[in-house]
Amino acid sequence: MSKNKNPLKDLDLFLKQQAASFVNPTPLSEKIQEPEMQAEEPGAPAAQASQETLLQSIERLMDKNPSALYDLLIEAAEKKKSSERTMLINTALYLKNTNNWQEAIREYWKKSQL
């Protein structure tokens, strides 16, 4: 046997040739793009319609009872603690109580820490 001969390289080359003759693999870029396109097509109109319905509901609530909208925003923001949600709660409290917003924010945070 020759010193330059590497049986592992030969075996690897042989296996690659055999695999190529059995299966033509699709490029990874195609596999990644296909699911995204399929996911967007059927769900896109439904998602857009539900978003429009949600926006219409929010607009109606804003026109009829803005205080209820602010309460809804506060309730949604309370579900998870983060600085952004704290800012949303403070903003909603400010909009709900424009005349006495500082006291409203103080009272809210006192109650929530109990």
Residue 101, pLDDT score: 93
Average pLDDT over residues 61-77: 93
Residue 24, pLDDT score: 67
Residue 102, pLDDT score: 94
Q: What is the pTM of this model?
A: 0.55
Residue 11 falls inside a structural domain = no
Domain total of the chain: 1
The average confidence (pLDDT) of the chain is: 82
Phi, psi of 75 (to 5 degrees): -60, -40
The pLDDT of residue 20 is above 80: no
Domain that holds residue 78: 37-113
C-alpha span between 12 and 107 (Å, rounded): 72
C-alpha span between 88 and 74 (Å, rounded): 7
Residue 94 falls inside a structural domain = yes
- SS3 label, residue 4: coil
C-alpha span between 84 and 76 (Å, rounded): 12
Contact yes or no for 74/89 (Cβ under 8 A): yes
